[in-house]
Structure 1
């Protein structure tokens, strides 16, 4: 039995129907994404963009944006364009990550990767187009948000993708294959390659909704902990899950001689690390009471996911 506060947090989160919440929020995001990208000329490019964008998935990043914005009183019209943009950026990263020059994967979300259908050239360009379009969507479709807040989000999105974020983490990840890597380097890779986009997903929602400095600080801490926990769990699943469970090729990290948390710390220590990160992430949201239940439940979902 934990301290009284932690026990009450656990009981409250257990009472929250996360499955229903995720289903409702995912449906909202899916509808918005469907409307956001109609097919135009050249059709092959748009088909490629939509093939990956509409391929399903958890829609975790846009849902985090909606949840954090709603935590501080935001409305859907303020949040949905950025939520869609986050999924576009995430989809770009998956398309590019699967390419032969990167992770060279044949399957994503249980179906052939984009380049297997459209070729490397169109896949690269589809990813480029999704990335650029994401910024257009934020800038032109966000409603009832002041220009300074929109500009803040645009800047954070750029930083999360570029050398200080996803791209920088991917470069270090590629350069570390087959090398002895320290825990600090591994955490740098994961904080940038995966964590940066999760962080901006959470924080951007609060910024758009007008969250104060304390809310931004708490949500930043929450997002960094769940971002690292997400990748620790990802590393564990690469060792323990099947390709069918993952929807992509299992054991890719081992085959590429990549450093992972299980390879450096072992499976049990890695599991404990993820659990500690999730507990800390939930604790920082305690001042928000029941309003934070969606974000706390999502943290537990990240810790307990099997794919």
Structure 2
């Protein structure tokens, strides 16, 4: 275990609170027949969680002194996309999960149809938020943000990774195959979170590249830790069922590397991620602490 500053926990908590308040405003209750799907959207989006992706948006944007309100809009929109993916991922046609973030999944609290619509609603609303001038006054910046999010969440990113995850060949993937799968399914939105801060801040090419590589490292480490938790943690710790992937016979980092080698690989990736931030010197300390948090988390 490595030392981690207590500052990261306070920063994560403060960011999560700000994102929660922003999501509450962006997804107001609707008292008409369609209000049921809005309630399901709110249930998913306001259901807690680490809010890691929004935090990465906020912290990378802060490196360039971006107006906080702009970064918060992008952070909330990205969290909508992440929450949509969780709602759909939990459906019987995918992972068939009953528990998410310590509470009933959307399709269990309502039904499959409402869960599908709630996910669709969150995804489309995210792009509406991105297109809003409140996100950034420069239309060119908004277009870059929208384009990047579309790629990260679509067939060349998260959706593509999910398709590989559902494929019959999933059980036979080698280490390179698992790495590519997770770079798409999990890593694409994490990478976008860091790149979005750079886009908002009109970063120099070398700064953008540094954040992108940092994100690739922590994204892969994040999934390795997820695989470790799937073997070692309890549902009470993680807030969701454990042993799912291994029980389904899916190829995982732990299955390929073993527990100790997988843990070592995650630590190597975290060290690499921190070195990517040298270009920002002391301004990036919270991002370094975030990398440590990722490898030490228990949920």
- TM-score bracket, normalised by the shorter chain, equals over 0.9
Contact 1:53 1:88 in 2 (8 A): yes
Contact 1:59 1:87 in 2 (8 A): yes
Q: TM-score, normalising length from structure 2?
A: 0.96
Contact 2:47 2:101 in 1 (8 A): yes
The residue that corresponds to 1:38 in the other structure is 28
Deviation at 1:223, TM superposition (A): 0.3
The residue that corresponds to 2:7 in the other structure is 17
Matched, 1:134 2:104: no
* Mapping 1:61-210, distance limit 5 Å: 61-176=53-168, 179-210=171-202
Matched, 1:215 2:207: yes
Q: TM-score, normalising length from structure 1?
A: 0.93
- Among candidates 272, 283, 290, match of residue 282 of structure 2: 290
Partner of 2:173, secondary structure, is: coil
**Structure 1 alignment gaps of length 5 or more:** 1-9
Deviation at 1:158, TM superposition (A): 0.3
Deviation at 1:53, TM superposition (A): 0.5
Partner of 2:93, secondary structure, is: coil
Contact 1:109 1:246 in 2 (8 A): yes
Q: In 1, distance between residues paired with 2:93 and 2:20?
A: 30
Deviation at 1:14, TM superposition (A): 4.5
**Structure 2 alignment gaps of length 5 or more:** none
* Mapping 1:258-269, distance limit 5 Å: 258-269=250-261
Q: In 2, distance between residues paired with 1:31 and 1:227?
A: 26
Q: In 2, distance between residues paired with 1:62 and 1:141?
A: 19
In structure 2, do the counterparts of structure 1 residues 254 and 37 end up closer, same or farther at CA, with 3 Å as the change threshold?
Answer: same
Q: In 2, distance between residues paired with 1:156 and 1:63?
A: 18
Deviation at 1:179, TM superposition (A): 2.9
Matched, 1:251 2:243: yes
Contact 1:139 1:150 in 2 (8 A): yes
| RMSD of Structure 2 on Structure 1 (CA) | 1.4
